[in-house]
Amino acid sequence: MPRNIQALAPPWIYIATGQAFDDEMCERIAEHRRRRGDDWRAIEAPLDLAGALAEAGSTPVLVDCLTCGSPT
């Protein structure tokens, strides 16, 4: 299996689990959106990773930010 998702044929799915609770996270999310090209489809899944993976089916997936949680 390739280590880089882009070694696989597009389209690819970017599962975003982070939430914009503050200005810094809003900026990070905006930057991630700018960097992705048209071959990417984003699924926002801050609380339901299993559902997002099921929705993706057999399409190559990159899951971002498994450690994000609610603000303290």
Q: Which of 5, 25, 28, 32 is catalytic?
A: 32
- 3-state helix vs strand vs coil in the chain, percent to 5: 35, 20, 45
Dihedral in degrees, nearest 10, Cα atoms 20, 46, 18, 62: -140
32 as an active site residue: the answer is yes
Active site residues: 32
